[in-house]
Amino acid sequence: MEDIYYSSTRGSETKVSASEAILKGISEDGGLFIPNEIPKLKCTIEEISKLDYKETAYTVMSSFLTDFAEEELKNCIEKAYDAKFDTEEIAPIKKTDDAYFLELYHGPTLAFKDMALSILPHLLKTSARKHNIKDKIVILTATSGDTGKAALEGFADVEDTEIIVFFPEDGVSEVQRLQMVTQKGSNTHVVGIEGNFDDAQSGVKKIFTDKEFGDKLKENGYRFSSANSINIGRLVPQIVYYFYAYGSLCKKKEIECGEKVNFVVPTGNFGNILAAYFAKNMGLPVNKLICASNDNKVLFDFFKTGVYDRDREFVTTISPSMDILISSNLERLIYLVSGRTPKKVSQLMSELSVNGKYQITSEMSDKLQDFYGGYATEEETKRAISKMYNENDYLIDTHTAVAYSVYEKYKDEKNDSTKTVIASTASPYKFTNAVMEAVDDKYLNCNSFELMKKMSALMNSDIPAGIRGIEEREILHKNTCKKDEMKNIVEKFLNL
C-alpha cells in the first residue's frame, strides 16, 4: 500500500507522516495538515457492510495512517471503542418516517466528539513513542461545548500529557459547563473565557503559532498538540462512522449496496461534514452532503454566494456547539477545491484575518456541487423537536433538530427522494431545557436537573451515567480569563 503523507494547506510543510501530523496538531504556518491524496477504500461496499464498528475503523483509518503498524492501530481502536460506549453498535441508526438518525452520542460525554476523542489519546501516545518523544504533550483546545468535555475525558490522567480547555463562559449549556468544570484528573485544566467560541479558537491558534512561546515550551520539556478537529487525528476517525452507517443500512436491507444516500450534518466548525466529504471521495456512494447551520449561518451564505464573511453579529442560540463564525476546517476544503494550491489558501486566509471575509473563484465554486447549504432559525429548530417527538415519539437534541429542519426544507426545495441519514450529534439530555420546552411549554421555568428526570420518563430510559447526579459534583475548575489573557494562563498552568 502506498504511503500517505501530509502537508500544510498553506504550503510551508510537506511530506509529514501521519504520526508527525497528529503530534504537531497544526502546522507552524497556521495551516492545517491534509493528506497528499484521499485514498480509495481498500474493499467493496458490500464487504464494509459485513464489518462491525472496530473492523470498519481499521479498514478506513489504516488507509490514512499508513505509518502505523497494524498492531499499533488495532490496539488504539480496541482501547477506544469499548465499554465506555453504552451500546455495542457504537453508532446505532434509528429509523423514522422519512429519515435515518445516526446516533453518535453513546459515548461517555453524550456527544459525537467521543467518536474521535476516545481514540485520539491513543493515537497521540503511539505517535510519541514512534518518534521517541520525551517531552510532555500539552493538549491545547478551544470548545463550543462538546469537544472540551470529550477531550478532558479522553486525556484525564494520561501519562506525560497536560490538557488545557478554553470555553466561552456564557456560551454553553448548563450541563456542558458542569461536565467540564467538575472534570477530575491531575493533568486537567478548564478555563471560561469572557468571549465567544471564535475568540477561544483564535486565541488557541495564536498560541500555537507563537514561535517564541513554542521555543520557551521546548526549553521546559513541553510541546503543544490539539484535540480540536484541526488535528488530522480527530478528523480521520470521524470518516469511519459514515461508512459504518452506510454498511448498517445495507445490512438491514434498507438500501441496496451501491445505492446513493444523502447525509445531513449540523456543523459550525465544518469538521464533521468534511469527514463525510472525505468518505465520499474514498468511494462511499453519496448523493448530496447537506450542511445545516443555525442562525450563525456563515456556511449557508458561503455555499450560496462563494463569499465567506465572518463580519456579522454573533448569535447565541439553543444549539451552542454550532455558534461559530470561523469554520476552521473549511480551510481544508478550500485547499482541495483550489486544486491543492497553498498560495491561494494563504491569500484567502490572510484576507479573512485582515478584512473578515474572502471570496472564492467561480472555478472553485463549481467544485462545491457535492454540498447543499441550509439553515434553521430558533423557532424552526424548536418546531423540528416538537414534530419529531409528536409524530415519531423520538426526542432529538437542538443540533440534530437544526439538521432535521434543514432536511425538511431541502426535500421541499429539491423534491429529492434519496434515502437520507441525519447525523445526530448529541444526546437530548445535554440540552434538557431547550428540548423539553420545545416539546411542551409546561416545562418552561423548570431547572435542567428536574427536566432530566422528566425527560427520562418521556424517553422511558435511564439518565445516562455520564451526567447522572452532575449537579451534586464538586466544582474543581474555577478559572476565568479575558480573551487576551489566554497565553498568560497557559504559562501559569505549566509553571513557565
Catalytic residues: 113
Which H or E run contains 280?
helix 271-282
Exposed, middle or buried: residue 445 (CB in 10 Å: 0-12, 13-18, 19+)? exposed
Pairwise CA distance, residues 439 & 391, whole Å: 12
In what order do the strands lie in the sheet containing 136-142? 222-225, 136-142, 161-168, 188-194, 479-482
User: Amino acid identity of 226?
Assistant: S
Pairwise CA distance, residues 340 & 351, whole Å: 18
In what order do the strands lie in the sheet containing 286-293? 93-95, 100-103, 420-424, 261-266, 286-293, 371-375
- Judged by DSSP in three states, 59 sits in helix
Pairwise CA distance, residues 285 & 54, whole Å: 21
| In contact, 454 and 436? CB cutoff 8 Å | yes
| In contact, 384 and 294? CB cutoff 8 Å | no
Which grid cell sits at 23? Answer: 503530534
**How would you classify the pairing of strands 286-293 and 479-482?**
unpaired
Per this entry, what is the length of the chain?
496
Q: Give me the helices (H) in 27-83, please.
A: 45-48, 53-64, 70-80
